[in-house]
């Protein structure tokens, strides 16, 4: 009986440690994403010919685009986001984007994320691949 009780206790300890590690991983991913990212042109999607900043801040996303005439940064759109860091992949769920960029709403898979680079892919209603460098 003691043997079974020890196994159950050990299982609970393992589950608790796994839950804490998962929560820590989630927080680390959220912290990495929460910053200002500059969209860069890549050969995969050569249609990106404009200057755009994405500002992720505490669940809110602001996308700024440089006006080609004045050089000023104008707000292209705003919305919300949440991060889901799973065991095999990280997803960013964006919502509430305005009409101009409503195609950005939905789930984006984080293909690469480190302190300097973020690469995301959105496959709902088309195919949007975006690479960023941290500002």
Number of neighbouring beta carbons within 10 Å of residue 120: 23
Q: What pTM was computed for the model? A: 0.75
Position 51 pLDDT exceeds 70: yes
Per-chain mean pLDDT for the chain: 82
Could you tell me the residue range of the domain that residue 56 belongs to? 2-134
Number of neighbouring beta carbons within 10 Å of residue 103: 13
What pLDDT score does 113 carry? Answer: 94
CATH number, domain with residue 86: 2.40.128.280
- What phi and psi values does residue 58 have, to the nearest 5 degrees? 55, 45
Number of domains in the chain: 1
Model confidence at 107, pLDDT cuts 50, 70, 90, reads: very high
């Amino acid at each position: 009986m003691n043997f079974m009780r020890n196994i159950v206790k050990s299982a609970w300890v393992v589950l608790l440690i796994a839950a804490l590690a998962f929560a820590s991983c989630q927080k680390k991913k959220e912290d990495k994403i929460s910053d200002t990212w500059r969209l860069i042109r890549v050969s995969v999607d050569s249609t990106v010919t404009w200057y755009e900043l994405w500002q992720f801040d505490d669940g809110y996303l602001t996308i700024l685009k440089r006006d080609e005439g004045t050089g000023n940064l104008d707000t292209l759109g705003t919305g919300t986001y949440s991060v889901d860091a799973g065991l095999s992949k990280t997803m960013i769920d964006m919502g509430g984007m305005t009409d101009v960029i409503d195609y950005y709403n939905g789930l984006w898979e984080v293909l690469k994320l480190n302190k300097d680079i973020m690469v995301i892919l959105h496959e709902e209603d088309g195919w949007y691949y975006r690479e960023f460098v941290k500002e």
